[in-house]
Amino acid sequence: MLLLDIGNTNVKYFDGHRVWRERVEAFQLPDAPFYYICVNPRVEEKLAASAYGQDLKAWFDFPTRYSGLGVDRIAACYTVEEGVVVDAGSAITVDLMRGGVHRGGFIMPGLSSAKESFANISSKLICDPHREVDLTQLPQNTADALIYATINPIVLMIEEVRGDLPLIFTGGDAKRLLPFFKDARFRENLVFEGMQKAIKEKRNAC
């Protein structure tokens, strides 16, 4: 069973054993049956022409009052009963789950987006997302100041909504953020886990 998670920047594939990715510009339709979620309008027309693809968007039974919640965020939260789900990709999405119900969430620029924002202000503002940073001390140089101003707001906002809930990270920048949180878990294939659950529920209902 081939699963595709199609984002704005990358397409991630999962065949039940391994995960791989490619840039969305290089995406070609598989020539065998596949299931997918997609948040990229540029790819949707190509997917609609496929004889093999099955869009999972309508297969998620997901209670929420959030208007316009992306299917990628739904899939990431779908196997979480209690917790805060952080998907750290091009954007960082944070979603609160209680009793299997989505209670709301928010979106922040991802680390790469913050880096680009500084560069757009001045060519001298070079932010290295992987630079070590001590959030307990105010920076004393520009390089530290940039990464401090990138990481610290992310940590503070997530901790503010977390409370006593488990914290679950996924996404390409998840491992960069994990060390700043106590008792946080990394689930690399969280979105694919949600897709698998939706497929299983659909099959059991038939």
Amino acid residing at 204: N
> What number of other Cβ atoms are within 10 A of residue 136's Cβ?
5
**Catalytic residue (one of 72, 87, 95, 173):** 72
Name the DSSP letter for residue 147: H
- Spatial distance between the Cα atoms of 149 and 139, rounded to a whole number of angstroms: 9
Pairing of strands 83-88, 53-55: unpaired
Contact assessment for residue 53 and residue 47, using Cβ atoms and an 8 Å cutoff: yes
| Nearest CA-CA partner of 38 in 19, 58, 18 | 58
Q: Is 173 a catalytic residue?
A: no
Annotated catalytic residues are: 72
